[in-house]
Amino acid sequence: MELLDHGLLDTGDGNRVYWEVVGDPDGKPAVYLHGGPGAGCSVNARKALAEGRYRLVLFDQRGCGRSLPHASDPAADMSVNTTEHLIADMEKLREHLGVEKWLVFGGSWGTTLGVAYAQRHPERVSEMILIAVTLASARELDWLYKGVSRFFPEAWERFSAHVGNAPDVVRAYADLMEDPDRAVREQAAAEWCRWEDTVLSLENHGKPDVFSSHVGDDVIAMVRIIAHYYANLGFVDDLLRDAGKLAGIPAALIHGRRDLSCPADTAYALARAWPDAELTLVDDAGHKGSPAFVEAVHTAVRRFSP
C-alpha cells in the first residue's frame, strides 16, 4: 500500500511516536496495532488491509520501531510507557489526522490494546479485526511464562535458571532489562526470546526463530517493553469482564487452534461475551498463522471494506 504521509507525534511527555498513513486516501479509516508489546510495525504491516479500500494508519508504540526515545537506551523512561499512555497516543493521533471513527486491526498484544481502546472509546471504533487474541490476563500470562513449561521442561529450566529460579520470572527478567550493563540486557533478551520461540516451535508454519534470530537494539527494546508490561499484567483491568462495553461494534476474531502461546479459550470466551463478534478458529494454524489463517483475515478485511 502506497505511503501517503508520515511523521512523529509529540506526546508532550518526552516521547515522539512514529506514524504513517498508507493505502487509499479516500478509503475507510483504519488503524493497525502491532504485537509484542514492543515489536514495532514491520514492512509487511502496510499490507494488512490490502484486500480492501482503506486509509490505514500505522504507528510504532512507545519505545520501539522508529519512535523515540528507543527502549534499547536504558535512559528511556518506562514509567511513561503503559497501556493508558498508548490509548492516549491513539486518540491524539486520531485527532491529529482528522479521523472520526476507524476500524481497529490488532494482532496478539495488539488485540489487548485494541480491546482496551475500544472499551474506553467505543464511539471511535467502526469495526474490529483481531487476530491471535490475547487479553493479558493473569491466567494467560501464567500459562505463557510457566504453565506451558509442561510441554518444554528442559527449555523452562534454562529460562527460569537465568533469573535464579525467581518465583516471579517475568518480574525478574524485567529487572534484568533495566540493568545499565548492555551485556546483561543482551543475554537476558536472548534467553527470553529463546523461550518465546520454543513455545511456538511445534507449529508447522512460519519462521522457526521469529524472536531470537538476532539480538540487536530492536530485540532488546522489545523484550524490555514486554517484560515491563507483563510484569504489570499489561496495565489493563479484566478486559473479558468488561466485554459488554464492546456491544454494537462488529468484529471478526481469527485465532489458530494450535496456538500454544495464546490458547484459543480466551478468543472463544471473548466471542461468547461479545454478541457482535464472529470467531473463526483455524484448525491448522498456531500463533504464526497458516495459508488458511491468512485467507480468513482477508475475508474479514473484504467484509468490512467499503
Which entry of 108, 149, 160, 212 is annotated as an active-site residue?
Answer: 108
Compute the distance between CA of residue 186 and CA of residue 177 in angstroms, rounded to an integer.
8
Instruction: Note if 73 is an active site residue.
Output: no
**Cell 491513539 maps to which residue?**
90
CA distances from 278 to 71, 101, 131, 253 (A): 36, 21, 12, 6
Instruction: Note if 108 is an active site residue.
Output: yes
How deeply is 150 buried, as exposed, middle or buried, from its count of CB atoms within 10 A (0-12, 13-18, 19+)?
A: exposed
Compute the distance between CA of residue 185 and CA of residue 198 in angstroms, rounded to an integer.
20
Q: Residue 72: phi, psi to the nearest 5?
A: -70, -20
How deeply is 91 buried, as exposed, middle or buried, from its count of CB atoms within 10 A (0-12, 13-18, 19+)?
A: middle
Contact 132, 205 (CB under 8 A): no
Compute the distance between CA of residue 242 and CA of residue 220 in angstroms, rounded to an integer.
33
Strand positions, DSSP E, 16-140: 16-23, 28-33, 54-59, 102-107, 125-131
Instruction: Note if 287 is an active site residue.
Output: yes
Compute the distance between CA of residue 114 and CA of residue 110 in angstroms, rounded to an integer.
6
Contact 292, 301 (CB under 8 A): no
Polymer length in residues for the chain:
306
Contact 256, 289 (CB under 8 A): yes
Which entry of 34, 70, 255, 287 is annotated as an active-site residue?
Answer: 287
Which entry of 72, 85, 149, 259 is annotated as an active-site residue?
Answer: 259
Write out the catalytic residue numbers. Answer: 108, 259, 287
